[in-house]
Structure 1
Amino acid sequence: MQSIADIFLFLLETYMRKKRTTIYDIAEKLNLTASCVSRALNNSNYVSEKTRALVLKTAAELNYKRNILATNLRNGHSKTIGIVVPRINQNFFSNIIAGIEEATYEKDYNLVICQSNEEHEKEVKCINTLINQQVDCIVISISADGHDYQHLKNVIDHGIQLIQFDRVVDELETLKVINDNEQASLEAVSHMIEQGYGRIALLEGPQHLSIFKQRKAGYLAALKKYNLPVIHELIVKNAWTKELGAKATRKLLSLSNPPDAVFASTSDFSALGVLEVATDIGFKVPEQLGICGYSNEAFTEITSPSITTIDQYSFFMGKTIANLYFEEMNIKEIAIQPKTISIKPNLIIRSSTSKKSTETK
């Protein structure tokens, strides 16, 4: 019985026959069978040296190019990893991809990159496409609007390795690479309190995503650590884009007793929205309003003032993801509990929260 890979190879070779030289062209010219040509090209011991040399010479004359995808499928793998991210144009995710690519390039693996644009329906379509392409592994950070994860279960059911990173579904027992979001947020808010800020607002992300729940937990832990009250009017839900961050800031700064700092736990884009509104209204940063973002996007270093943020070591995270896959490939025993790797982020203190340094000038 022919395998799926053999059938795929036959269909692929038939389709491409008119567009490029195939083993059938070589076989026809030499009056050999296609299987004989295939064995010769793959250095099989069942072909004589004379036949092998003749096949290789004819292949060169006809400018034959081997179909690597079909060959890999026949060998039981595609040497391809699929990546699904919410947005490719964000520094965090682009660095993740770059880190994965550097590690996979050394192993002669290919990448297929998809973005969900934060849309669950598009994420499902991306996953199904990658499954149909028979990739060896799918790496994903889930979109913000998803609540049903049957498509990720389908990846596992198809025997494809699934690695979740950053935004993960805790209930799914897969390999995971994450950040210590709670500790990073605790350190960020503690820094702001130590700078003299006492009414710190929180811009939170969708709470069904564990990373945003963890960042909120870090914020609350810092308030508790310094005996500051939780002021619910200073906590704004789902302010996780630049536009939503700006909208939330206008509302916060219009309060009779506005915050003196904002922790944009969702992203640096949200923090940028805070900075633009504060500048427009006339709030001095950091003297009247401290601002801290999350992810260390490239623009945070060049804004005026520069924005305090949290570096997630995204490039290193990408390499960690790829190396985790290759390590698991070499492990024969199936782990009872899939491995989770946690990377500690780094607080980068910049001008937007350096209140004490401005007071001493």
Structure 2
Amino acid sequence: MEKQKRTTIYDIAKKLNLNASSVSRALSGNSNVSETTKALILKTAKELNYRQNSMASNLRKGENQTIGIVVPRINQNFFANAIAGIEEVTYQKGYNLIICQSNESAEREIKCIDTLINQHVSCIILSTSADFEDNSHLKSLAEHDIKLIQFDRVDETLDTYKVLSGNEEAAFEAVSHLIEQGYKRIALLEGPQNLSIFRERKAGYLAALKKNGFPVIKELIRENAWTRELGAIATENLLALPEPPDAIFASTSDFAALGVLDVAQSKGINVPQQLGICGFSNEDFTEITQPSITTIDQFSKEIGKSIANLYFQKIKKGTVADLIKVVNIKPKLVVRNSTLKNG
């Protein structure tokens, strides 16, 4: 079946023997076109199944009601909920979203940004990839008059609005909880230290140990264990130590915590009596594992709403000279069975 050619204003103009400019004015509701002519144009547009090119229309008006989002992974609860929060606000404002996934690759992130620039989006909302280093692709956005809002994983050197979680505070609370439950050797699964969120979570872990008089044991800290598979590998190594940990704080993600649980169950280790497990992000599955997993709820949907509201209430209105450009959403420790050693 031959694909039907998309109807343009020139097709409507040709059929009615009118100027394309008259058709364009009528379709945009311009009062300079008589009601009779406008009615005829609208009727013909419907008959020809004409659909307005909203991007071209917005560009002619000097604005594009489209916002781009770039996240590391769409299939993680945190990012999915953040996107849902953004969409809830943008839908009410009549804006469209273009969602891109960097898949933790700086190279793909740059390509995502280039694509969004070519789509003439009005704003880009970004959470950086794991191997993010150079920010030149972000600095170039100003040349295209595209606003930037960063969230969760951010480049602190860029003067943009940022929406963050209290990562250090949350990690401190999680480790303090483990200590209160009687755990003595608490291991840390940490993420890439080039990202501020993982540096902050490590700082919270170290602060909680220090406050409670616990030594920092380097062999209990495992780098870049942030997927289920990497969490499992790190756990195998930790449990093979002459003095293995009795609790593991997967500060990277709940997926890493799930990897910890996999290994513990395969070895017949009782959770939480012999090994406490705490994750981060409150993924849906943490409620239904056996035992359920203690984690940290970052209120990601609220983060998404805050991001969108920043754009419409601050940036779009031109109040970007605000001194306070960082919004913090306070996270919450969600205690479940995987750390309740004392019942």
**Correspondences of 1:1-361 after superposition (within 5 Å):** 19-335=5-321, 337=323, 339-357=325-343
Could you tell me the TM-score, scaled by structure 1's length? 0.91
Is this contact kept in 1: 2:70–2:102, CA < 8 A?
Answer: yes
Secondary structure of residue in 1 paired with 2:12: helix
Unmatched segments (≥5 aa) in structure 2: none
Q: Give aligned-pair identity as a percent.
A: 66
Secondary structure of the 1:355 match is coil
Instruction: Please report how far the alpha carbon of residue 333 of structure 1 lies from its aligned counterpart in structure 2 after TM superposition.
Output: 4.0
Alignment CA distance shift 1:210-1:148 (3 Å): same
Instruction: Give, as a single letter, the amino acid of the residue that structure 1 aligns with 2:108.
Output: K
Verify the 8 A CA contact 2:71 2:101 in the aligned structure 1. Answer: yes
Residue 294 of structure 1 and its aligned partner are, at CA, apart by 0.2
Contact 2:181-2:341 at 8 Å conserved across structures:
yes
| Aligned residue-pair number | 341
Cα offset, 1:20, TM superposition: 2.4
Cα distance in 1 for partners of 2:269, 2:45 equals 72
CA distance, structure 2, for counterparts of residue 57 and residue 239 of structure 1: 61
Deviations 1:97-127 (A, max 9, x none): 1111111111111111110111111111011
- What is the CA–CA distance in structure 2 between the aligned matches of 1:303 and 1:77, rounded to whole Å? 48
Q: In 2, are the aligned partners of 1:174 and 1:338 still within 8 Å (CA)? A: no
- Which contiguous aligned blocks of 4+ residues in structure 1 show a shift greater than 4 angstroms? none
Larger displacement relative to structure 2 (176-185 or 274-283):
274-283
| AA aligned opposite 2:184 | G
Superposed CA offset, 1:271-303 (max 9, x none): 111111111122211111100000001111111
Letter matched to residue 201 of structure 2? R
**In structure 2, distance between residues paired with 1:204 and 1:220:** 12
Structure 1 vs Structure 2 CA RMSD: 1.5
Match for 2:21: what amino acid?
S
Report the Cα offset of residue 337 of structure 1: 4.0
Task: Indicate the larger mover: 229-238 or 183-192.
Answer: 229-238
Q: Distance in 2 between matches of 1:220 and 1:151?
A: 34
Judge which range, 115-124 or 275-284, deviates more.
275-284
Whether contact under 8 Å (1:173, 1:337) holds in the other structure is no
AA matched with 1:67: N
Cα distance in 2 for residues equivalent to 1:126 and 1:351: 40
Q: How far apart are the structure 2 equivalents of 1:260 and 1:191?
A: 14
SS at match of 1:113: strand
Instruction: Calculate the TM-score normalised by the size of structure 2.
Output: 0.96
More deviation, 214-223/315-324? 315-324
2-structure distance, mates of 1:50, 1:328: 42
Helix, strand or coil: the match of 2:10? helix
- The AA in structure 2 aligned to 1:236 is R
Q: 5+ unaligned residues in a row in structure 1: which ranges? A: 1-17
Q: Report the AA paired with residue 141 of structure 2.
A: V
Instruction: Indicate conservation of the 8 Å contact 1:173/1:338, yes or no.
Output: no
